Structure 1
Amino acid sequence: MDTTVPRETFDAAYEDATAGWVVGEPQPAIVALEREGYVHGSVLDAGCGTGEHTIHLARLGYDVLGIDFSERAVNLARRNAEQRGVRARFEVADALVLAGEPRYDTVVDSALFHVFGPEDGRRYAAALHRVCRPGALVHVLALARTGEPGFGPRISSGAIREAFTDGWVVEDLGTSVYRAVAHGDHATELGVAPGAAVDLPAWLARVRRV
Structure 2
Amino acid sequence: MDQSPTLSRFDEFYKHRTPPWVIGEPQPAVVALVDAGQITGRVLDIGCGTGEHTILLAGAGHDVVGLDGAPTAVDQARRNAAAKGVPARFEVADALDLGSETTYDTVIDSALFHVFDDADRARYVTSLHAVTRPGSVVHLLALSDAGRGFGPQVAESTIRDAFRDGWVVEELSSTSYRGVVTDLHADLLDLPVGSTVNEPAWLARIRRL
TM-score bracket, shorter-length normalisation: over 0.9
Distance 2:29 2:178 in 1: 9
Shift of 1:101: 4.0
Task: Check if 1:184 corresponds to 2:196.
Answer: no
Matching residue of 1:104: 104
3-state SS in 1 of match to 2:185: helix
Matching residue of 1:65: 65
Distance 2:161 2:30 in 1: 23
3-state SS in 1 of match to 2:127: helix
- 1:4 alignment partner AA: S
Q: Which runs of 4+ in 1 moved over 3 A?
A: none
Shift of 1:185: 4.2
- Any gaps of 5 or more consecutive residues in structure 1? none
- Any gaps of 5 or more consecutive residues in structure 2? none
Q: 1:102 to 1:90 in 2, by over 3 A?
A: closer
Shift of 1:149: 2.1
Matching residue of 2:52: 52
Matching residue of 2:74: 74
Task: Check if 1:22 corresponds to 2:18.
Answer: no
**RMSD (CA atoms):** 1.3
Matching residue of 2:196: 197
Shift of 1:2: 4.3
Q: What does 1:161-180 align with in structure 2 at a 5 Å threshold?
A: 161-180=160-179
Identity, % of aligned pairs?
A: 55
Matching residue of 1:155: 154
Distance 1:25 1:137 in 2: 23
Q: TM-score normalized by structure 1?
A: 0.95
Distance 2:159 2:2 in 1: 13
Distance 1:31 1:97 in 2: 28
Distance 1:192 1:2 in 2: 26
Matching residue of 2:8: 8
3-state SS in 2 of match to 1:206: strand
Q: Is the 8 A contact 1:150 1:201 kept in 2?
A: no
Shift of 1:174: 1.4
Q: Is the 8 A contact 2:8 2:70 kept in 1?
A: no
- 1:31 alignment partner AA: V
Shift of 1:157: 1.4
Matching residue of 1:40: 40
- 1:133 alignment partner AA: R
Shift of 1:7: 2.7
Matching residue of 1:143: 143
Matching residue of 1:95: 95
- 1:28 alignment partner AA: P
- 1:169 alignment partner AA: V
3-state SS in 2 of match to 1:43: strand
Shift of 1:109: 0.2
Distance 2:93 2:49 in 1: 12
- 1:7 alignment partner AA: L
CA shift digits 1:155-195 (9 cap, x unpaired):
11111111112210001111111101110141232232211
Aligned residues: 209
Q: TM-score normalized by structure 2?
A: 0.95
Shift of 1:5: 2.1
Distance 2:150 2:9 in 1: 15
Distance 1:98 1:12 in 2: 22
Distance 2:98 2:7 in 1: 17
